[in-house]
Structure 1
Amino acid sequence: MPTDTRDRILDALERLLLDVGLAQVTIEAVAAEAGVSKGGLLYHFPSKEALLAGMVRRLGERTDAQRTQASAAGTSLAEWYLQVPESGTDAELALYRSTIAALRSVDGTHDDVQGAVVDVMRLWDEGLRAEIDDPVRAEIVRLVGDGIYLAALLGLPLPDPDLHRRVVRRLLHGDT
């Protein structure tokens, strides 16, 4: 089966996680949503845990690709991490949805999934600390970025765009 089938399966998993939550996600439901047989799904992912971990690993690959693109365009990792999800491109919004789905997949019972999420988040920590000389400022950037995503996940009001720009400027450049 081609890799587009694998992506279709992972896209279906993400949709289900976002729509109904982890408790309602089954191998059968994902296969039906993806339009593949249960055997076809199990060919790519032999268990629910492997399926969830595959989704998180794909998120890591997509994140790395978008970080590389942002860097090539002159956007710092910290600026990219602090952006409001709804203000981005289609690829950034897709990454945001994947991130939310991955976070919804962590329930404490799937060690491989938990490990994959920790690995992806550790890459962010390492990248921010490599880019920002001050480890305290790097940690503040990470926490603020996490808060922005959490607010979006919970449907809380997003920051005023002008205020958001001022926060990022102050945080990254010390501007008042």
Structure 2
Amino acid sequence: MTANTRDRILDALESLLLEKGMSHVTLESVAAKAGVSKGGLLYHFKSKDALLAGLVRRLTERASDQLTSYTGRGQSVASWYLQTPNPDNAADAVELAIYRSMLATMRTIDAAADTEADEVQQALMDMMSSWSDGLDKEIDDPVQADIVRLVGDGVYLRALLGLPPIDPARYRQVVDRLLGQSAKPATNRKSAAAR
């Protein structure tokens, strides 16, 4: 089995979550959608919890890669964190993949909260910590870092829930104000984990 098989399994899980919801996610249904045997799925993911945690970890990796690209172009972690997701922009395959993964991951949260899904909970905490660590390294004031974090989370949540976006001009003013209070020159920034 290759990494491609692992991604096919996670893609199948993601599709099932987005199309049918958590109640239709079983090891058998994911394996069938991925075109692998149940044994093939279990080779990569030892349990349903491991499978769900794998989805969260892949989201973390995708976001980390996007952040690395973003900061590599001289942008700050805070400006990346505050960007508005655009799920309708099919031209941006990376953003679309992250958006879909985030939406699918949100559908696992209830299941993780209702069960003993320690591996899923840990993956979620690791993901959120990695994003927080990046902001905390970049922004000296922890309260300002929390404000950036909460605004970014809220804007992304609005998009995931399908709510109308905040007026772009007004949101640009919000971002400018936050970044004006928190941004450090690019030469002084420490490298960050992922959002």
> Quick check: TM above 0.5?
yes
Q: Which residue of 1 aligns with 2:103?
A: 100
Partner Cα separation in structure 2 for residue 152 and residue 160 of structure 1: 13
Match of 1:27 in 2: 27
- Aligned equivalents of 1:76 and 1:159: distance in 2? 22
Structure 1 gaps of 5+ residues are none
TM-score, with length taken from structure 1:
0.93
Counterpart in the other structure of 2:8: 8
Find out whether 1:122 has 2:125 as its counterpart: no
- Cα deviation, 1:114-171, whole Å, max 9, x if unaligned, reads 1100111011111101111111111011111111121112110012222221110011
Equivalent pairs: percent with the same residue? 60
Distance 1:90 1:9 in 2: 19
Question: What does residue 151 of structure 2 align with?
Answer: 144
Cα RMSD, aligned residues only: 1.4
Structure with higher RCO (Cα < 8 A, 6+ apart): 2
Give me the TM-score of the superposition, normalised by structure 2: 0.84
Give the 5 Å matches for 1:60-99.
60-86=60-86, 89-99=92-102
Tell me what 1:161 maps to. Answer: 168
Deviation at residue 103 of structure 1 after TM alignment: 2.3
120-129 or 21-30, larger mean C-alpha shift: 21-30
Post-superposition Cα deviations, 1:61-88, rounded to whole Å, max 9, x if no partner, equal 2222111111001111111111111077
Return the offset for 1:37.
Answer: 1.7
Q: Give the count of matched residue pairs.
A: 174
Instruction: Give the unaligned 5+ runs of structure 2.
Output: 182-195
- Structure with bigger helix share is 1
